[in-house]
Amino acid sequence: MRSRVPVVFWSATLVAVILLGVIWTLAQRVVVGGASVEDDVLLVVAGARLAAASLVAGRIMVVVGRLRRRGQGNREGSS
């Protein structure tokens, strides 16, 4: 089970980076004025997915940090 945590974290991080690139490109297209309705929809969807991927990666970091602190507390208490 522990080996899945880094895979999920880095997958969420990679997705966030790719979506950031998509958002950047679509935002430039919208600013210039050459965007269609589909581009606007894609921009909104990519923004929502970026937020979700960032939350997943952040939640994993919080849980891993909590487990490490808990593990250090157990080692100090047993000595």
Residue pLDDT, tens place only, 14-34: 999 999 999 999 999 888 888
Q: How far is CA 50 from CA 10, 34, 69, in A?
A: 14, 23, 29
Dump pLDDT digits (tens) for 44-74. 999 999 999 999 989 988 988 888 888 877 7
Report the pLDDT value the prediction gives residue 78, as an integer from 0 to 100.
56
pLDDT greater at residue 78 or residue 60: 60
Q: What is the pLDDT of residue 19?
A: 92
Report yes or no: 53 and 21 within 8 Å, Cβ to Cβ: no
6 to 10, 44, 54, 58: CA distances (angstroms): 6, 28, 15, 12
